[in-house]
A and B are shown apart, each in its own frame.
Chain A
Amino acid sequence: MPVKIQLHEDEIPREWYNIVADLPHPLQPPLHPGTFQPIAPEDLAPVFPMNLIEQEASSERWIKIPDEVLEKLLIWRPTPLYRAVRLEEHLKCPVKIYYKNEGVSPAGSHKPNTAIPQAYYNKIFGVKRIATETGAGQWGSALSFACSQFGLEAKVYMVRVSYEQKPYRRLMMNTWGATCIPSPSTETEAGRSILAQDPNSPGSLGIAISEAVEDAVTSESFGRPLTRYSLGSVLNHVLLHQTVIGLEAKKQLEQVNDYPDVVIGCAGGGSNFAGISFPFVRDKIAGKKIDILAVEPLSCPTLTKGPFAYDFGDAVKMTPLMPMYTLGHAYVPAPIHAGGLRYHGMAPLVSQLVLDGLVEARAIPQLETFSAGVTWARTEGFISAPETNHALAAVIQEALKAKEEGKEKTILVNWSGHGLVDLAAYDAYFQGKLVDYEMLQEDIDCSLKCLEDYPKPKM
């Protein structure tokens, strides 16, 4: 039984899979907020090169991967598919667990799968410089690497609170030649206006995005090299580029005459989940029986013991989380919990698949995810990124479920990145800082102090 299932370099996928071609219900085109007409390609031209805009709007099922992109992807692709034999032995469940190791990329995650083509398409469009935002730096470092491969300048606006806490990814960006500055910065109107209100602002992703977009939009009028903006998740073309993961995994499983019963990926913005799952969703649309799980963070009370109690099921159903609220209050508006994934920050394509019943959204609390990450590290050896731990927790849930049901199952999971620059999060877990607790009234009173001057939102 092989532990690593490899593809030769000449077996790397030559086309990306575009799930838009196979959606049972087409996505509604987003409307321009000013005209209420569908957004036209030229509306996005100030931030993206037209070749990427065409991909964003494309409904072609297969899109050729340019040779120049393949050449760069070959630095780390095809990635190995592993059989998690040590975890299987540890769990003693009737399952075969395969994982796609995306942590072998130069930036340590799946993100370069789209950073490379985005940099390439910008380059051939004549763009000289790319601006982006980053939270803790995973995307910023991936784009910095990609820009260095194509001789582009990279400017990364990193949310200040992360910039100060997480020096290592910033240093990775610098090593690849990118300029990384804390956001809010004094370099944009958006940043200056925030700093004028609060010179010590810790920043936010919203501010950082505003700065990066402004940088791109104003580049020509302020004499900077032609600049465009780049996003590492959510958009259709980003998800498209990630499908190399699932396409490779299918070929690798064919080598061992296997096919998954369950495909699992963590879903923040949806790109790594899309990467592993979309080629299998295509099979499901065609009638294949397969469960596909998008796992997202859940930070809700864990008052039920069963590991499947956190299952949202259908995205439009509202009730599963409600019994968890027993901390002394009775009121939580149901719409807040109406299906997690279709809310803020999730890719429209993934949300649509959840609504169509092709993908199941599952939410797992952080304590369980770190426990899974530690189990993984102590069996398989690799230390996972905290986001990846969500998927691993779902793997363990599925394995235990198979044991409970007495069914043999094959599970495929996307191991989307290593956690070697996230060890502080593991430290917090080991120190008990992440343990779920019920706050005492004095703690609540203390927390309330920061709400004293809380302004009422304008609606």
Chain B
Amino acid sequence: MTVENDCSSLEIRCPRLGSPVKFSYCIIESTGQPCIKSVSCWTPYFDISRLLTEKMGRDNFEIYFSKEPKPKIVTLIELIEKAREAAGRSKSDG
């Protein structure tokens, strides 16, 4: 089976969001990096590993996709700090 020659047809169900997303959504997040699940999600459809290796460089690709995730609690602590900084900036601006 093939797909239409149209990028807009490339949609899968995002396991994180629980709704369909396009390839372009997965490949670059607000951090400027691909979604950490992009390789496992898109591999059935094409050789995304090769594409990302070419784009990111092999070393960066390996480092990025094999890194251990931060515990959620640690992420929350970081977000608390960011929020405090943001609040401080808003107050000084306002």
A329→B49 contact, CB < 8 A: yes
- In the complex, identify which listed stretch (A7-15, A148-156, A205-213, A398-406) lies at the interface while the others stay far away: A205-213
A286 contacts B by Cβ under 8 Å: no
CB distance from A29 to the nearest CB of B (A): 9
Neighbouring B residues of A159 by C-beta, 8 Å: 17
B77→A43 contact, CB < 8 A: yes
B7→A204 contact, CB < 8 A: no
B32→A162 contact, CB < 8 A: no
Most buried by A among B28, B35, B49, B77: B77
Neighbouring A residues of B16 by C-beta, 8 Å: 135, 205, 268, 345
A434→B86 contact, CB < 8 A: no
Evaluate whether A455 and B19 lie within 8 angstroms (CB atoms) in the complex, with A213-B76, A300-B44 already known: no
CB distance from B68 to the nearest CB of A (A): 8
Neighbouring A residues of B91 by C-beta, 8 Å: 221
The interface bits of chain A over 322-361 (1 if a CB of B lies within 8 angstroms of the residue's CB, else 0) are 0001011101110111101001110010000000000000
CB distance from A9 to the nearest CB of B (A): 32
A229-268, CB < 8 A from B:
229, 231, 234-235, 268
A202 contacts B by Cβ under 8 Å: yes
Interface residues in A, total, Cβ within 8 A: 99
CB distance from A292 to the nearest CB of B (A): 21
Neighbouring B residues of A327 by C-beta, 8 Å: 43, 46-47
Most buried by B among A189, A345, A433: A189
Question: Contacting A165 at CB < 8 Å: which of B19, B46, B68, B81?
Answer: B19
Neighbouring B residues of A325 by C-beta, 8 Å: 43
Q: How far is the CA of A425 from the CA of B11 in the complex (A)?
A: 11
- In the complex, identify which listed stretch (A70-78, A79-87, A174-182, A445-453) lies at the interface while the others stay far away: A445-453
Q: How far is the CA of A44 from the CA of B75 in the complex (A)?
A: 11
Neighbouring A residues of B31 by C-beta, 8 Å: 206
Nearest chain-A residue to B10 (Cβ)?
A: A447
B64-94, CB < 8 A from A:
64-66, 68-69, 71-84, 86-87, 89-91
A336→B66 contact, CB < 8 A: yes
CB distance from A172 to the nearest CB of B (A): 14
Neighbouring A residues of B29 by C-beta, 8 Å: 204, 206
Complex A-B, nearest 5 residue pairs according to Cβ-Cβ distance, in ascending order: A335-B66, A136-B18, A189-B86, A135-B17, A217-B83
